[in-house]
Amino acid sequence: MKANKPLLKVDNVGIRFGGLKAVSDVNLHLNQGELIGLIGPNGAGKTTFFNLLTGVYVPTEGSIELDNERLNGLAPYKITKKGISRTFQNIRLFSELSVLDNVKVAYHSLAKHSMISSIFRLPPHFSGEKEMEEKAIEFLKIFKLEPFMHEKAKNLPYGQQRRLEIARALAANPKLLLLDEPAAGMNPQETEELMNLIALIRERFSLTILLIEHDMPLVMGVCERIYVLDSGQLIAEGTPEQIRNNPKVIKAYLGEEVS
Ligand SMILES: Nc1ncnc2c1ncn2[C@@H]1O[C@H](COP(=O)(O)OP(=O)(O)OP(=O)(O)O)[C@@H](O)[C@H]1O
């Protein structure tokens, strides 16, 4: 892991929906290998910010750079290819597809074999397909999902569906992984397992991770730095200890549990 090498540079980014500034003037810098939290009360603009990073929305102001390349205005699939993958607040799996196929779909966006050879099932398709399947199974092993690889995704228990979403995001070989409330709906044991999994994949894949999460013990426990959004604006940035004691943050949460 290369310490202090900038990966993501977000400068003065914002977006307006009609009269509402959902995100305004946000500056956020991530170095390679960091695990950083993004928190804030409901409606603060966290998911909108992920949508800006992934090309779902085009910023109306500011710039976003990954590895010194400007991303503003690129289509979401191009941004995935440049190295940003995400999971969603509400699980978005292909529920009727098998667990294995859900991961293989992600590989298709990166597959080296050509579309033509895939369509006509020429020999390169088969070696490409086989390699893809082997890699997908490798991922499923890491996520302890291999025993269920032929199950339909919709039949997995909730906690495993969440893990599958992360596995699928990782299959696109990202430099930066965006996790949108990965612990939502999980019980304490599943949350604990998730924390360990996040730490493991970060090391194993030399990932940089930006984590939106309402579960404060999780955020405070795993993140090195935390950014806090409120009403679309950054109100604080610092270590978990600094954030826990920041009066602006405490006020924004108006008595919600911060520690
Ligand atoms: N496409 C859109 N059109 C209009 N308003 C939007 C759109 N997307 C988001 N918003 C508004 O932007 C604000 C920020 O919403 P966002 O979902 O980003 O918040 P959040 O911090 O992720 O909230 P939560 O923690 O509840 O998920 C909200 O007021 C929301 O209604």
pLDDT in tens, 176-190: 999 999 998 888 888
Whether 89 maps to a domain, the answer reads no
* 233 and 259 belong to one structural domain: yes
Q: For a pocket test of ligand 1, which of 26, 48, 227, 256 has the largest count of ligand atoms closer than 8 A to its C-beta?
A: 48
Looking at residue 133, its pLDDT comes to 85
Alpha-carbon 192 to chain mean position = 18
Which pTM was predicted? 0.88
Mean pLDDT within 24-47: 96
**pLDDT higher than 60, residue 20:** yes
Count of structural domains within the chain: 2
Residue 90 beta carbon below 6 angstroms from any ligand 1 atom: no
What are the distances in angstroms from CA 70 to CA 9, 64, 77, 234?
9, 6, 15, 22
Asked if 80 and 171 touch (Cβ cutoff 8 Å), the reply is no
171 or 249: which carries more pLDDT confidence? 249
Mean residue pLDDT of the chain comes to 88
Hey, what amino acid is at 158?
Y
The residue to which tokens 């890491």 are assigned: 142
Name the residue among 199, 132, 194 with its Cα closest to residue 163: 194
Question: How many angstroms is it from 49 CA to the middle of ligand 1?
Answer: 9
Give the whole-angstrom CA distance, residue 171 versus residue 181.
19
Residue 22 beta carbon below 6 angstroms from any ligand 1 atom: yes
Mean pLDDT within 20-27: 95
Looking at residue 109, its pLDDT comes to 62
Mean pLDDT within 215-241: 94
Q: What is the largest CA-CA distance in the chain?
A: 63
Three-state secondary-structure class, residue 179:
strand
**pLDDT higher than 90, residue 113:** no
Question: How many angstroms is it from 48 CA to the middle of ligand 1?
Answer: 6
Domain around 215: 1-83+174-259
**pLDDT higher than 50, residue 124:** no
Give the whole-angstrom CA distance, residue 67 versus residue 8.
6
* 152 and 40 belong to one structural domain: no
Closest residue CA from atom 23 of ligand 1: 43
Phi, psi of 211 (to 5 degrees): -120, 120
* 114 and 232 belong to one structural domain: no
Residue 26: in which H helix or E strand, if any? Answer: strand 20-31
Chosen domain end from 120, 139, 172:
172
Chosen domain end from 151, 172, 193:
172
Question: How many angstroms is it from 232 CA to the middle of ligand 1?
Answer: 9
The residue to which tokens 């092993």 are assigned: 141
**pLDDT higher than 60, residue 258:** no
**pLDDT higher than 80, residue 251:** yes
Burial of residue 137 (CB within 10 Å: 0-12, 13-18, 19+) is: middle
**pLDDT higher than 70, residue 201:** yes
Looking at residue 3, its pLDDT comes to 57
Whether 91 maps to a domain, the answer reads no
Looking at residue 116, its pLDDT comes to 47
What percent of the chain clears pLDDT 90, i.e. is strictly above it? 60
* 225 and 246 belong to one structural domain: yes
Q: What is the DSSP letter of 154?
A: G
Question: How many angstroms is it from 55 CA to the middle of ligand 1?
Answer: 16
Asked if 124 and 114 touch (Cβ cutoff 8 Å), the reply is yes
* 159 and 188 belong to one structural domain: no
Residue 40 beta carbon below 6 angstroms from any ligand 1 atom: yes
Looking at residue 86, its pLDDT comes to 94
* 167 and 182 belong to one structural domain: no
Residue 17 beta carbon below 6 angstroms from any ligand 1 atom: yes
**pLDDT higher than 60, residue 125:** no
* 70 and 188 belong to one structural domain: yes
Mean pLDDT within 35-60: 96
Asked if 258 and 250 touch (Cβ cutoff 8 Å), the reply is yes
Looking at residue 115, its pLDDT comes to 47
Give the whole-angstrom CA distance, residue 36 versus residue 220.
10
**pLDDT higher than 90, residue 118:** no
Residue 47 beta carbon below 6 angstroms from any ligand 1 atom: yes
ipTM of the complex: 0.93
Whether 88 maps to a domain, the answer reads no
Closest residue CA from atom 24 of ligand 1: 42
Chosen domain end from 172, 193, 211:
172
Mean pLDDT within 81-89: 91
